[in-house]
Structure 1
Amino acid sequence: MDAISTLPQREKGPAYIALIHDLLTRTDTVAVVSELHALVDTVVNQDSVGLVVGRQVLSELVKILGDGVVKDPELRKTLVEDTLATIQPRIVSYEEQVNILRFQLADILEEEEEWSEAARVLMGTSLDSGQRAMAEADKLRVYVRIVRLLLEDEDSIQAETYYNRAALLVHSTSDKETLLQFKLCQARISDYGRKFLEAASRYHELSYVGEIDEEERRQMLMAAVTCAVLAPAGPNRSRVLASLYRDERTIDLPTYNILSKMFLDHILRSAEIKSFESTLKPHQLAKIAISSNDRLASSGHDEDPASATEPAASSRTGPSTVLDRAVMEHNLLASSNIYNNITFRGLGALLDLTPGAAETMARKMIEQGRLRGFIDQVDKLIWFEGSREEDDAQGKAGGLGDVEDAEDTGALFTKRWDNQIRLTAANVESIVQHLTEKGLVKLTAVA
């Protein structure tokens, strides 16, 4: 290198480049690293070399490293890292070369499954300033890649920051691959943020995209089912469950059993929950905190001693995980289709909660419009209100036409009993009429 320093300025560049090629052909890796370090340090930090020659030599070195001339992955990684460290004091003058080196190092780290390290390397790239302004579509690709890498290590908080940056640039590209990766990141961010309904819809949408590999589409469909099951019970979740249940592909999934039971409002048993729990990712098993107000309300005991017919009360004051809460809310919603009313202790036994905690969960769901009913604090009962429309023929039993409402006696049980009799009579008449039309039944006049 001392001989090269005495050459005319226009000959220094080709001489340093020839020396790089010569160094990389040697077999002694330790010598290659040390001598290449000395060369880069001379080219970058010696004023006698000049910026033009420095950029020319560094560009060639970056190209050689990117073309795979160095076969040993560990040696290549060491050379890239050492070159980046050497250029650091003069990074402003060599931003373009540094960015390319960072992309190369990120590729190496990603191959080694060092997701967070690869993301941090990409975060250091200069995207908003430099010798050449980076196009918005290129920035979007970098941001989406950072989000994807961070989510691999479940760093959803930092991933959301870069996702928000990508969302501002998504209009700048029409590249299908980039847009699909962005939509997948969108679904995963919603998943990690416990916006399970939104995540389920996005996963389900992606599972129909033909450009995605079939196995990956199946994984997205499974993710959609999982998120739908974990979503808060209520009308919105029922619509998502219906969409998934009608999808013919879900019948082959291992989670189809719990999907069908959720959709059909069947009560889930502990064995089924355990089986489903084994398919969940760590963030979907995250612990949830109970507010101090809810804990105080949930820990209350019945003032009256439990009768011999009532089940023993549980000691749990609330759900412990996201899955726990989703299953409890579903079982509460399913019980509303079975019972007209239920005691706090009975619901607590069904949900494995204290009577106070069961009441608190029902109260919240009623307040949020996810459960139709009301609470009787005096009798310690939860009354459920039917959500189905009554039959059009109701009240027209016996061919008597519209039946006027009976006088309001204020007796709730009497009203319900009368309504059930009217509906049953109307249904019986409809069945007899259908059988008569088919000739299966012949009516005779009564003398």
Structure 2
Amino acid sequence: MDRKLAQFSSLSQKDKGPAFISLIPEILARSDPSAVLADLHILVDTVVNQDNIGLVVGRQVLSELVKILGEGTIKDINLCKRVVEDTLATVQPRIVSYEEQVNTLRFQLADLLEEEEEWSDAARVLMGISLDSGQRTTGDGDKLRVYVRIVRLLLEDEDSIQAETYYNRAALLVHSASDRETLLQFKLCQARISDYGRKFLEAASRYHELSYVGEIDEEERRHMLLAAVTCAVLAPAGPNRSRVLASLYRDERTADLPTYNILSKMFLDHILRSTEIKEFEKTLKPHQLAKLAISSNDRLASAGGDDGPGNTNEPAASTRTGPSTVLDRAVMEHNLLASSKIYNNITFRGLGALLDLTPGAAETMARKMIEQGRLKGSIDQVDKLIWFDGNREEDDAQGKAGGLGDVEEAEDTGAPFTKRWDTQIRLTAANVESIVEHLTEKGLVQLIPTVA
């Protein structure tokens, strides 16, 4: 090999390129992988790092090698990966002169690593690609594809911190993208970033939206629908979550999901039991079981919320001072909201027994939900009672979702069931009006004017 390289180096410049290129098939035809790797290293080092060869010849030979590697000529995946890695290491000192070839090699190496499910390694290889250089201009569409792929790979290894950095870069370019596949991948990354960032309501909405896209495989759509239900369950209890739960509950596809039972109970404001929670917990991913830290103020309030002896008929108080996981918090807040549909009022100790919290911790959770507008009620700290607002609409979320704004409260006739029925009729009419307006805006329905 050394003799041939020395001989070809003495040829004229126009003959050097074809002569060196002719060595590539000859080297790849050898049966010994070690010999193939060693000889290709010598060839690349000669044409790239020796000044007497010339930049033009070096680019010709390296481009041909990159082309052959991309065609899958080397069937041994491990050998192919070692060749690409060695070539990149050899060219590294002259990377500015061979930027295009190096970028192509990095894409090839990322493909090989992704096939072996080495997600983080593949992402790091793509991070090394030069997208902003003075020698070549990369279009926004190509940059977006690279950034979205990096985000997707990092999320496979649950590296959401670094993934969010590249997601933010992609978000700056997505407005100029026209590739449908890339846009769908970006939206999926968007949903997963929200999921990892514990923005569960936003994630549930995006997952549910993607589950309707026909271009996505049916099994993947089912997986997204399942993810939407999971995120909706984990979201903070309140009117906004009620909207998402209602949308998912009315989706006929959710009836076939293993999490349908807990979805229906949450939508119908039923109190969840520990056995149901344990079954659901088995379906969660590690980041959805993240531990929660209790602030010092909350810990102090939780410890000092029950000074009196309490009612002797009430159960003994728990010793827990707050939820320990994201799921724990979601379930406690849901059960608190569900209890507001059942009781007019409840003592701190009674609510604590229901939520498996100390009376002070139960009061703290109720206070936060009332402050955030997710629970309607008031707290009487003298009598240690939480009063729930019984004059509210049955579903505050639906009451404002009909497109007509707030529905005025009907006159109190003293008949609560009649009032509830009238309220449901008004809410249904408001929702129908909203649907008609939406269809009209989309041009799907044309209203025929009446003739006098």
Residue 381 of structure 2 is aligned to residue 377 of structure 1: yes
- Paired positions, count: 402
The question of whether the paired residues in 2 share the 8 Å contact of 1:24 and 1:70 is answered with: yes
Deviation at 1:302, TM superposition (A): 2.1
Deviation at 1:31, TM superposition (A): 1.1
Name the residue aligned to 2:148: 144
Name the residue aligned to 2:399: none
Pick one of 194, 197, 207 that aligns with 2:198.
194
Change over 3 Å in CA distance of 1:335–1:426 after alignment to 2: closer
Name the residue aligned to 2:94: 90
* Structure 1 segment 22-61 matched on structure 2, within 5 A: 22-61=26-65
Deviation at 1:321, TM superposition (A): 0.4
Cα distance in structure 1, aligned partners of 2:265 and 2:416 = 28
Cα distance in structure 1, aligned partners of 2:88 and 2:417 = 85
Cα distance in structure 2, aligned partners of 1:171 and 1:300 = 53
- For structure 1, which segment, 145-154 or 4-13, has the greater mean C-alpha deviation from structure 2 after superposition? 4-13
Residue 349 of structure 2 is aligned to residue 345 of structure 1: yes
Q: Specify the SS of the correspondent of 1:383.
A: strand
Name the residue aligned to 1:114: 118
Deviation at 1:388, TM superposition (A): 2.4
- The one-letter code sitting in structure 2 at the alignment partner of 1:174 is S
Deviation at 1:304, TM superposition (A): 1.6
Residue 8 of structure 2 is aligned to residue 7 of structure 1: no
Change over 3 Å in CA distance of 1:424–1:318 after alignment to 2: closer
Change over 3 Å in CA distance of 1:172–1:274 after alignment to 2: same
Deviation at 1:393, TM superposition (A): 6.9
Q: Specify the SS of the correspondent of 1:143.
A: helix
Pick one of 361, 364, 376 that aligns with 1:360.
364
Q: Specify the SS of the correspondent of 1:121.
A: helix
Q: Specify the SS of the correspondent of 1:289.
A: coil
Pick one of 159, 162, 165 that aligns with 1:158.
162
The question of whether the paired residues in 1 share the 8 Å contact of 2:305 and 2:361 is answered with: no
Change over 3 Å in CA distance of 1:343–1:425 after alignment to 2: closer
- The one-letter code sitting in structure 1 at the alignment partner of 2:103 is N
Query: Alignment RMSD, CA only?
Result: 1.5
The question of whether the paired residues in 1 share the 8 Å contact of 2:349 and 2:358 is answered with: yes
- The one-letter code sitting in structure 1 at the alignment partner of 2:359 is P
- The one-letter code sitting in structure 2 at the alignment partner of 1:277 is E
* Structure 1 segment 224-303 matched on structure 2, within 5 A: 224-300=228-304, 302-303=306-307
Name the residue aligned to 2:82: 78
Pick one of 168, 171, 176 that aligns with 1:167.
171
Change over 3 Å in CA distance of 1:302–1:392 after alignment to 2: closer
Cα distance in structure 2, aligned partners of 1:130 and 1:166 = 21
Pick one of 368, 371, 388 that aligns with 2:393.
388
Deviation at 1:425, TM superposition (A): 9.9
The question of whether the paired residues in 2 share the 8 Å contact of 1:391 and 1:423 is answered with: no
**Unaligned segments of structure 2, at least 5 residues:** 395-407, 423-452
Change over 3 Å in CA distance of 1:245–1:141 after alignment to 2: same
Pick one of 324, 330, 350 that aligns with 2:334.
330
Deviation at 1:392, TM superposition (A): 4.7
Name the residue aligned to 2:432: none
Q: Specify the SS of the correspondent of 1:290.
A: coil
Change over 3 Å in CA distance of 1:62–1:426 after alignment to 2: closer
- The one-letter code sitting in structure 2 at the alignment partner of 1:59 is S
Q: Deviations over 1:21-51 (max 9, x none)?
A: 1100000111111111011111110000000
Q: Deviations over 1:312-367 (max 9, x none)?
A: 01010000000000000000000000000000000000000000000000000000
The question of whether the paired residues in 2 share the 8 Å contact of 1:96 and 1:131 is answered with: no
Change over 3 Å in CA distance of 1:374–1:88 after alignment to 2: same
- The one-letter code sitting in structure 1 at the alignment partner of 2:174 is V
Q: Specify the SS of the correspondent of 2:379.
A: strand
Cα distance in structure 2, aligned partners of 1:154 and 1:3 = 53
Name the residue aligned to 2:23: 19
Deviation at 1:303, TM superposition (A): 1.9
TM-score (norm 1): 0.88
Cα distance in structure 1, aligned partners of 2:294 and 2:264 = 30
Name the residue aligned to 1:414: none
Cα distance in structure 2, aligned partners of 1:356 and 1:314 = 10
Pick one of 393, 408, 415 that aligns with 1:423.
415
Q: Specify the SS of the correspondent of 2:212.
A: coil
The question of whether the paired residues in 2 share the 8 Å contact of 1:187 and 1:198 is answered with: yes
Percentage of pairs with the same residue: 81
Deviation at 1:308, TM superposition (A): 2.2
Q: Deviations over 1:42-90 (max 9, x none)?
A: 1110000000000000000000000011111111000000000000000
Q: Deviations over 1:202-237 (max 9, x none)?
A: 000000000000010000000000000000000000
- The one-letter code sitting in structure 1 at the alignment partner of 2:377 is G
Q: Deviations over 1:112-164 (max 9, x none)?
A: 00000000000000001153211110000000000000000000010000000
Q: Deviations over 1:254-308 (max 9, x none)?
A: 1000000000000000000011111111100011111111011112252222332
Deviation at 1:253, TM superposition (A): 0.5
- The one-letter code sitting in structure 2 at the alignment partner of 1:344 is F
**Where in structure 1 do 4 or more consecutive aligned residues deviate above 3 Å?**
389-394, 424-427
Cα distance in structure 2, aligned partners of 1:310 and 1:330 = 22
Change over 3 Å in CA distance of 1:426–1:141 after alignment to 2: closer
Residue 172 of structure 2 is aligned to residue 180 of structure 1: no
Cα distance in structure 1, aligned partners of 2:273 and 2:134 = 60
